[in-house]
Chain A
């Protein structure tokens, strides 16, 4: 009786709170953006600048999609920066020395990255060594492999062979203004939607959350924990490879020394977006917002003529503040 009366009301309040929780990173992003609109030069809020922010977010954003999955499962992948470098080198090598088409080269680069993700996953599950250590090792192994393929040098690619590969992240030319955003950004958006759906509507997604929340429960409930983990790290490799493709498109060289430390930006994006390093929490929307917040700060600081070191201090402070706020919110809802 009283139950029935209470149900719709309670459902309402739960929804409001849930909505607020999912939207709070978005609100933070809007807040940071508005701040720069107020204090930065008027060029900040232009379509051009917004497009640039989107382009600059893409590399970190794509890699962060995979990292979100890993972090939700309760793991971490420190090898992402190296995987991006490896992917650029592999693509360049395939184009320049194997003479394959851009599409095959791109697929090859992503496949190489996926392979190393697979290796991480297998090592973590077989050796029972924590992901931090395994992927720390893989960070060096993959970086070394990239340097080996490139013989310690960048691989330059003949521009003729590039075809469409160099305009993934290029500014949209006026004759194709109907695209609004460069193809790479669209790819990020599509991948993000696919990943969000995977997390929410597939067994793999639900199992990933379950493993991150309590691995023992997952095992008790018959979740094939090891298989899911291998898959998760492999997917993280795939996304690292795709990020590498974007990176290659931007620089058009295979550079084994590129993206050093990128994994930290990627992890920061996930964490700012509400991912918990102890697993079981995180969302694609949050991760994208996290990545965008970092680019907005970088772009805003640049436009205001602030030096690089200020940017770094601000970004660092934002990371800590975002997580602290998140903890605070959790304590209140708990």
Chain B
């Protein structure tokens, strides 16, 4: 068999070779080849749009490549559709989990392949096989009868992995598996990946986090613009080299920073507490500065912004925004000159079926016509300015925002704050899920609004920004504070702390000097 696949490694489990795919004029994949051995973790990295997802869709039979061949354990592999890929032992675990929340763990694991005799499900058998699949994980939360909707995200993910194991998968693809996990769940997941490796599964691990890749993967393949631009043993390549391959250029100019003048305090909160989170938060935000909030997912950072903005209740504490004090509804907050960028673009940030222009102007539909009328032509005119300034790629202001790429959608969401001309920008994970080029633009924009431009009569604004990505906070912010378990710590000048100290604070441990 080894000769048939023309490989020097005898245990190659999956090989893809010369895979190409075009969508109209865009080349999604060109002559891409990857190889994964049994018992190996291959990390697949690249910016958004680099072709990772398309490649995995080819692997899972969801799309047909224009050219290219695949082998599974030396046997030619040509899945016609996803079901066939699953039967062949190729299992995918996507970022968005695909479980049925109302069913319990065992039903989810065996869904679609329940053992049946005479048309009746053999529940004992279901249970036995489910228990066999989950016993590996050693997780008290995971019992066959637990309802999936009651499980944490981390445990739900394990249910998906258990389902893959129950099919008897040979190749397991994990697409951004850690993006919504807590640190503890990430550790648990890594431990399980280690065990699956030992069982001889071939694992493809897709991630944006290079640090994770360095830890978990044996080899790394970097994709850029639909091509493989590098492949290496993880031990033989540095993080910087990987990033340089991904981006294709140097990263220094990613975080521009102009000389800023901190002005008067525009937002002041004192001992703010919400329903559950935040438990206690105090901060002062000045005009002309960017204040970052670091912390782990679930630490209460999002809830802090949301209760500030009136989207979640405030239990106690003082808020002063400009001249106004006390809690207020989102409607009022916009009028008082604050705007919130949601962390969840698709569910909350944007109305996907509405046009770009409607999304940009929704928070303030005034001044678009006489007698309080809203004339679409004037909305379009206002929107075109942002299409130009933020380099938003679309057919025009009337295109539905849902058909734009992630980076362009995020720019539309940001354009709303700019169009509204808010004084206080509340940004929740402003660069989540967008590619490096779009990230660079977001950083540039944050710098520009915080700096202002006296020449053009634009005042400096204040930015309060939540991010889970420390290098970004260190690059963009003037000051940074850490939130841990609902409590916001003291603020530091970024020049006076390093990432390790912040990480220690975020995980609730004592900083080791």
Contact = CB atoms under 8 A, between A and B. Distances in A.
Contacts of B358: 206, 209-210
Contact of B352 (A209, A213, A223): A213
Contacts of A219: 311, 330
A217 B362 contact: yes
A11 interface: yes
B377 to A, nearest CB: 11
Interface stretch (B203-211, B260-268, B342-350, B462-470): B342-350
B331 interface: yes
A11 B332 CA distance: 37
B340 interface: yes
B396 A14 contact: yes
Contacts of B4: none
A11 B445 CA distance: 29
B369 interface: yes
Of listed B354, B362, B398, residue having the most chain A CB within 10 A:
B362
A14 B395 CA distance: 8
A220 B374 contact: no
Contacts, number: 83
A206 B347 contact: no
A202 B352 contact: no
Interface in B329-363: 329-335, 340, 342, 347-354, 358-359, 362-363
Given A220-B348, A223-B331, A201 B375 contact: yes
Nearest to B346: A214
B351 A14 contact: no
A209 B335 CA distance: 21
A48 interface: no
A11 B363 CA distance: 26
Interface string A206-226: 110110011011111111100
B333 A222 contact: yes
Of listed A11, A207, A218, residue having the most chain B CB within 10 A:
A218
B365 A206 contact: yes
Nearest to A216: B348
Contact of A334 (B363, B376, B403): B403
A280 interface: yes
B373 interface: yes
A223 B362 contact: yes
A177 interface: no
B373 A14 contact: no
Contact of B351 (A201, A224, A280, A334): A280
B129 to A, nearest CB: 38
B24 interface: no
Contacts of B363: 221-222
Contacts of A210: 351, 354, 358, 362
A220 B345 CA distance: 11
A10 interface: yes
Interface in A189-212: 200-203, 205-207, 209-210
A281 to B, nearest CB: 7
Interface string A153-185: 000000000000000000000000000000000
A216 B362 CA distance: 12
Contacts of B13: none
Contacts of A201: 369, 373-375
A280 B347 contact: no
B396 A11 contact: yes
A224 B340 CA distance: 16
A261 B333 CA distance: 45
A222 B334 contact: yes
Interface in B404-433: 416
A203 B359 CA distance: 13
Contacts of B399: 14
A221 B349 CA distance: 9
A214 B350 contact: yes
B30 to A, nearest CB: 23
A334 B353 CA distance: 10
B248 interface: no
Given A217-B348, A334-B403, A209 B398 contact: no
B349 A220 contact: yes
A250 to B, nearest CB: 36
Nearest to B369: A201
Contact of B330 (A11, A14, A202, A222): A222
B372 interface: yes
B373 to A, nearest CB: 5
Of listed A10, A221, A223, residue having the most chain B CB within 10 A:
A221
Nearest to A205: B374
Of listed A218, A220, A280, residue having the most chain B CB within 10 A:
A220
B342 A220 contact: yes
Contact of A222 (B331, B342, B403): B331
Nearest to A219: B330
B351 A213 contact: yes
Interface in A280-302: 280-281
B364 to A, nearest CB: 8
A200 B365 CA distance: 12
A77 B398 CA distance: 30
A3 B331 CA distance: 37
A210 B350 CA distance: 10
Interface in B289-345: 311, 329-335, 340, 342
Interface string A223-235: 1100000000000
A203 B395 contact: no
Given A217-B362, A218-B362, A224-B331, A202 B351 contact: no
B362 A214 contact: no
A52 to B, nearest CB: 37
Nearest to B375: A201
A202 B371 CA distance: 9
B365 A220 contact: no
A244 B395 CA distance: 45
Interface string B366-405: 0001001111100000000000000000011011001100
B349 A217 contact: yes
A280 B332 CA distance: 25
24 contacts: A201-B374, A202-B372, A206-B374, A210-B351, A210-B358, A213-B351, A213-B353, A213-B354, A217-B348, A218-B351, A218-B362, A219-B311, A219-B330, A220-B311, A220-B340, A220-B349, A221-B334, A221-B362, A221-B363, A221-B416, A222-B334, A222-B335, A280-B351, A334-B403
- Which 8 pairs, one residue from A and one from B, show the smallest C-beta to C-beta distance? A213-B351, A214-B351, A222-B331, A222-B334, A221-B363, A216-B348, A221-B362, A217-B351
Given A14-B396, A201-B375, A221-B416, 10 more contacts: A10-B396, A14-B399, A210-B362, A213-B351, A213-B354, A214-B350, A214-B353, A221-B362, A221-B363, A223-B362
Interface of A: 7, 10-11, 14, 18, 200-203, 205-207, 209-210, 213-214, 216-224, 280-281, 334
